[in-house]
């Protein structure tokens, strides 16, 4: 039994360097060895202009860290027999049956063929359904289609979003490829249909209240808005290490997260804090207090993509060594960027630099949070995780 206290001074020094170089405004983190928190720290600022030091109780825009909340609720419903992983989507959302798929090289949304199979719940959880996203591939036919339809507009309620998606073709035949997509937002609507309640109500009953999350929700109440971390953009989207940060109060849209909007986005709508995110990560570790059964957790953390396939992004291309489980990426072959002992790591992050990971084989998990727009897959998080894994020890 290793009882030494891990030394996180190298991780702290590195994160302070990113703050000093104006790559990120501030970083906070908590790291677990087993189920025990072995380090929790904050460096830098919640508000650079006001020089407000980052604290553990500051509220962050979770963006795609929201997805693990939806996944967790879906898996609870799977355990209860109310959803089947291989159920066709039309069982819950009839409008999404009988899909059409864009032909390869299509020049318009009308250039389609019939889908060879139905979309399943499993494919929605793994981003292999053929759905797309409206912001990763400008210039593409679907990008324009999604944006013209306002699929992701905060003013588009989930019921309306499903109707809009019903009129749009898929990017590829279900199950044949991987593309990050609105699938998790669609699953949010599936949850509403199955539970007969709005997504925020379901989240509160099934996750927030049981796990004691007092600061997680779809917007920050007015009385708490002083705790919301400021959002910044970097100096150059294509060069994440170029120094310089600019305040971005109106991203992703004016008043975002400050008041309720019609769209309860299961893909990116929540705000949360370090302690709240840590509570969810702990609840996804096998043990007496786990939210889900050991078999369910194992299934979530098992790569579901066919051999030879990895996740990929329009701007980054294929990400080597990374498959996808139910609700997060799974590392099947660590790259030089990854901790060398991170095989089997289950993780995901948000557009503004919030990130969680669970690695059963290395006996570690954690949460890392920053607020830099387009801070996903940023060098700061790769370096932090290599140093954190090293500190925890193999």
Supply the pLDDT for residue 3.
63
What is the rounded distance in angstroms from the CA atom of residue 305 to the CA atom of residue 331? 12
32 membership: H or E segment, kind and range:
strand 26-33
Supply the pLDDT for residue 81.
98
What is the rounded distance in angstroms from the CA atom of residue 210 to the CA atom of residue 282? 13
Burial-class residue 9 by CB neighbours within 10 Å (0-12, 13-18, 19+).
exposed
CA pseudo-torsion sign 374, 379, 382, 385 = negative
Domain boundaries, given as residue ranges, for the chain: 74-200
* Contact (Cβ atoms closer than 8 angstroms) between residue 33 and residue 10: no
What is the rounded distance in angstroms from the CA atom of residue 153 to the CA atom of residue 151? 6
CATH topology of domain 74-200: Beta-lactamase (3.40.710)
Q: Model-level pTM?
A: 0.97
80 membership: H or E segment, kind and range:
none
* Contact (Cβ atoms closer than 8 angstroms) between residue 60 and residue 80: no
Q: Which residues contact 91 (CB under 8 A, 6 or more apart)?
A: none
* Contact (Cβ atoms closer than 8 angstroms) between residue 187 and residue 124: yes
SS3 category, 205:
helix
* Contact (Cβ atoms closer than 8 angstroms) between residue 31 and residue 388: yes
Three state DSSP letters for 251-289: CCCCCCCCCCCCCCCCCCCCEEEHHHHHHHHHHCCCCCC
| Tens-level pLDDT at each residue, the chain (394 residues) | 456 789 999 999 999 999 999 999 999 999 999 999 999 999 999 999 999 999 999 999 999 999 999 999 999 999 999 999 999 999 999 999 999 999 999 999 999 999 999 999 999 999 999 999 977 788 899 999 999 999 999 999 999 999 999 999 999 999 999 999 999 999 999 999 999 999 999 999 999 999 999 999 999 999 999 999 999 999 998 899 999 999 999 999 999 999 999 999 999 999 999 999 999 999 999 888 999 999 999 999 999 999 999 999 987 889 999 999 999 999 999 999 999 999 999 999 999 999 999 999 999 999 999 999 999 989 999 999 999 999 999 4
């Amino acid at each position: 039994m290793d009882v030494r206290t891990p030394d996180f001074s190298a991780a702290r020094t590195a994160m302070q360097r990113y703050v000093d170089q104006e790559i990120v405004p501030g970083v906070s983190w908590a790291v677990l060895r087993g189920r025990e928190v072995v380090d929790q720290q904050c460096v830098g600022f919640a508000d650079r202009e006001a020089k407000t030091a980052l604290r553990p109780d500051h509220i962050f825009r979770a963006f795609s860290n929201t997805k693990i909340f939806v996944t967790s609720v879906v898996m609870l419903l799977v355990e209860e027999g109310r959803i089947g992983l291989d159920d066709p989507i039309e069982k819950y959302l009839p409008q999404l049956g009988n899909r059409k798929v864009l032909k390869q090289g299509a020049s318009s949304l009308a250039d389609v063929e019939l889908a060879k199979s139905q979309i399943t719940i499993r494919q929605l959880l793994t981003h292999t359904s053929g759905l797309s996203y409206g912001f990763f591939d400008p210039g593409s036919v679907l990008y324009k289609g999604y944006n013209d339809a306002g699929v992701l507009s905060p003013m588009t309620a989930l019921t309306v979003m499903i109707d809009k998606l019903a009129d749009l073709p898929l990017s590829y035949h279900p199950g044949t490829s991987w593309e990050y997509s609105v699938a998790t937002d669609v699953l949010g609507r599936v949850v509403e249909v199955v539970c007969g309640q709005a997504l925020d109500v379901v989240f509160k009953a099934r996750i927030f209240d049981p796990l004691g999350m007092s600061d997680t929700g779809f917007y920050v109440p007015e009385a708490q808005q002083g705790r919301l971390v400021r959002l910044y953009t970097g100096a150059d989207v294509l060069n994440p290490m170029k120094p310089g940060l600019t305040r971005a109060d109106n991203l992703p849209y004016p008043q975002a997260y400050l008041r309720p909007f019609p769209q309860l986005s299961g893909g990116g709508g929540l705000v949360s804090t370090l302690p709240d995110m840590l509570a969810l990560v702990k609840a996804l570790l096998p043990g007496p207090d786990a939210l889900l059964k050991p078999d369910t957790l194992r299934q979530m953390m098992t790569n579901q993509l066919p051999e030879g396939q990895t996740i990929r992004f329009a701007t980054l291309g294929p990400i080597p060594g990374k498959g996808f489980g139910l609700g997060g990426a799974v590392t099947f072959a660590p790259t030089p960027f990854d901790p060398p002992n991170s095989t089997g790591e289950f993780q995901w992050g948000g557009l503004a630099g919030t990130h969680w990971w669970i690695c059963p084989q290395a006996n570690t998990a954690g949460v890392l949070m920053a607020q830099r727009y387009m801070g996903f897959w940023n060098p700061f998080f790769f370096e932090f995780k290599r140093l954190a894994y090293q500190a925890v020890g193999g």
